[in-house]
Structure 1
Amino acid sequence: MNANPRISIVVLTYNRADELMGVLHSLQALPERPEIIVVDNASTDGTAERVRAEHPQVRLVREPTNRGAAGRNSGVAQVRTPYVAFCDDDTWWAPGALARAADLLDAHPRVAALNARVIVEPEGRTDPTCDVMAHSPLDARGLPGPALVGFMAGAVVMRTTAFLEAGGYEPRFFLGAEEALLAFDLQARGWALCYRHDMVTHHHPSPARDLHRRRASLIRNRLWLAWLRLPLAVAWDETRSVLRDARQQGLRREGLRAAMAGLPWVLRQRRVLPPQVVRDWWLVHRGGALAADAPSTPVVAQRQ
């Protein structure tokens, strides 16, 4: 039985059965005793059979194909608690973190997501991204921690209604910057995102990764993200920045070709973000306010 009926965990997995078994063992030992929902992205290594045999208390969702990050949508569709924590098959929550998250979300109804501090194993060091989050330059008045413009997909606790309202993860993105689009859409709806240093999750990066494919997808998705949500001048600036990164990685042609293939869909789905969301994104990613004389729409104004 769920000892804390406020929160569930959705674990996304693909062909990492051995690692997943260890993660599930850790999650089932949590004092919060949350319901655990495993989304198997069409694994071919016997993952589903092992979950059923070794962890029968876990709810299993089997996808017919590998949907990437969008597999999490199927997990959240099964959630019956107001809050949902996310894990990958190489991450697990520390005892007490989920209860703390639920208390904070209870107390701060405009917050949609709390990003945890990620401890990278086996070194036991804090992920550098968390140090950046802890020093966010954004206005955090009235919030339970530093304000963010994004979050880490496998290290976040979210308000279930906010996730569903924003539409979850976009299937076309598969993997790479998928959380950035969801973060944009949450903020466009007035939700806040925060970092909490005292909420801890652990990450032991799996060696079973296709890094080339992940990097190429990230280039494509960053280009899509710019043209899906940013004003024209800002989108052009971001495009130049992404292509510079792609050139340095030897992925410019591959990433640009993949992005162009999805351009008709991107233009159909284009919805420019509210000005304040754009300003906050610029402040975090460019380190300063949008220039008042930049050639853009009225969102390009000095931050007050």
Structure 2
Amino acid sequence: MSVINRPAAPVGIETDEVTVVVATRNRPDLLRRTVPRHHAPTIVVDNASDQPLSVPGAALVRLPENIGAAARNIGVRQAGTPFVAFADDDSYWEPGSLARAARIFRDHPRAALLTAKVLVGPEGRLDPVSAGMAAAPIGTPPGAAGPSVLGFLSCAVVVRRDAFLAAGGFSPELFVYGEEALLAMDLAAAGHQLSYVPELVVRHHPEPAGRDNRARSRREARNRALTALLRRPPAIVARTLAEVARTRPAALPDIARDLPWALRHRRPLPAAVESALRALS
């Protein structure tokens, strides 16, 4: 790992309590459009892009290999602020959102994660995940910053840095696609509040061209099954494996290969968290 540059804070900084961490690989054109829109100190973690990156206005950490979502953990450890916001190379936080997030964290000491409203594309359509969170299916605890959540989009959260690191961050073994679920479970199991806060807004401009949807679907199925093996009761594990066998059988060899790891790290959730997950399903 090498730190290439540590620039001064960007022009228009709205808070020095939040660092934006962006994990990327081989998408420099997107970074040039989104990094200038982050109104806070920004760290870009390069997952071993094929060509060296140059990211004006951000600190750049170059990794020797692609470690997937766990690259964000590197950025969090490099950050010197109490709160860290994640963004993808095709997303950015709307002005004012990061400063508001810092104030909300100060006012809600039990909060470890705030997830924003996500507006997709140039037309700004509401992401279905945000719509689901707004419905508050598992309620809003007294004094919480917003409706409780047990999942999130990784490009649209701000975390309390010490709570994130204590929970272990994103699992390197899960790599990418569906890695958020395990972290959400572990933060909730530690007694933290995770809240949907629609006054925080992220703009997301995904570019699906060139992605292998079959490979993504296979990895998502693998990660869903491994997450169940790591934290859920046997009946849920069996149901999840049966669903994967029926809908994504190509993922079964991947699950079998990583089964010993999952069983070694199995840690069932507290009853209250498991009950909330059942309510969501």
TM-score (norm. length: structure 2) = 0.92
SS at match of 1:262: helix
Is the contact between residue 20 and residue 89 of structure 1 (CA under 8 Å) also seen in structure 2? yes
The residue that corresponds to 1:165 in the other structure is: 166
Distance apart, 1:117 and its partner CA: 0.5
Within a 5 Å distance, the mapping from 1:220-231 to structure 2 comes to 220-231=222-233
**Given the alignment, which residue of 216, 219, 241 partners 1:217?**
219
Is the contact between residue 118 and residue 156 of structure 2 (CA under 8 Å) also seen in structure 1? yes
Distance apart, 1:282 and its partner CA: 0.9
The residue that corresponds to 2:202 in the other structure is: 201
The residue that corresponds to 1:26 in the other structure is: 37
Distance apart, 1:276 and its partner CA: 0.7
Q: Please list every run of 5 or more consecutive structure 1 residues that lacks an aligned counterpart in the other structure.
A: 286-304
Within a 5 Å distance, the mapping from 1:1-304 to structure 2 comes to 2=9, 3=13, 4-27=15-38, 30=39, 34-46=40-52, 48=53, 50-51=54-55, 55=56, 57-140=57-140, 141-206=142-207, 207-244=209-246, 247=247, 251-252=248-249, 254-285=250-281
Q: 1:7 to 1:178 in 2, by over 3 A?
A: same
SS at match of 1:77: helix
Instruction: Determine the C-alpha separation between the residues in 2 that align with 1:45 and 1:21.
Output: 15
Aligned residue pairs total: 268
Give the greater-gyration-radius structure (CA): 1
Q: 1:94 to 1:208 in 2, by over 3 A?
A: farther
Is the contact between residue 70 and residue 174 of structure 1 (CA under 8 Å) also seen in structure 2? yes
Distance apart, 1:12 and its partner CA: 0.9
Distance apart, 1:238 and its partner CA: 2.7
Instruction: Determine the C-alpha separation between the residues in 2 that align with 1:173 and 1:149.
Output: 17
Q: Answer with 188-197 or 229-238: which moved more.
A: 229-238
Instruction: Determine the C-alpha separation between the residues in 1 that align with 2:45 and 2:37.
Output: 17
Give the counterpart letter for 1:280 in structure 2: A
Spell out, residue by residue over 1:228-261, the C-alpha distance to the aligned partner (whole angstroms, 9 max, x if none): 00111222223333444xx2xxx31x11111111
Instruction: Determine the C-alpha separation between the residues in 2 that align with 1:144 and 1:114.
Output: 8
Is the contact between residue 220 and residue 258 of structure 1 (CA under 8 Å) also seen in structure 2? yes
Is the contact between residue 21 and residue 42 of structure 2 (CA under 8 Å) also seen in structure 1? yes
Instruction: Determine the C-alpha separation between the residues in 2 that align with 1:45 and 1:120.
Output: 29
Instruction: Determine the C-alpha separation between the residues in 2 that align with 1:5 and 1:107.
Output: 17
Q: Answer with 258-267 or 3-12: which moved more.
A: 3-12
Give the counterpart letter for 2:51 in structure 1: D
Once superposed, what is the RMSD of the aligned Cα atoms? Answer: 1.3
Spell out, residue by residue over 1:162-184, the C-alpha distance to the aligned partner (whole angstroms, 9 max, x if none): 11010011111111110111111
Is the contact between residue 148 and residue 193 of structure 2 (CA under 8 Å) also seen in structure 1? yes
Is the contact between residue 25 and residue 48 of structure 2 (CA under 8 Å) also seen in structure 1? yes
SS at match of 2:154: coil
Give the counterpart letter for 1:238 in structure 2: T
Instruction: Determine the C-alpha separation between the residues in 1 that align with 2:206 and 2:258.
Output: 30
TM-score (norm. length: structure 1) = 0.85
Distance apart, 1:223 and its partner CA: 0.6
SS at match of 1:277: helix
Q: Please list every run of 5 or more consecutive structure 2 residues that lacks an aligned counterpart in the other structure.
A: 1-7
Spell out, residue by residue over 1:31-55, the C-alpha distance to the aligned partner (whole angstroms, 9 max, x if none): xxx1100000000133x2x22xxx0
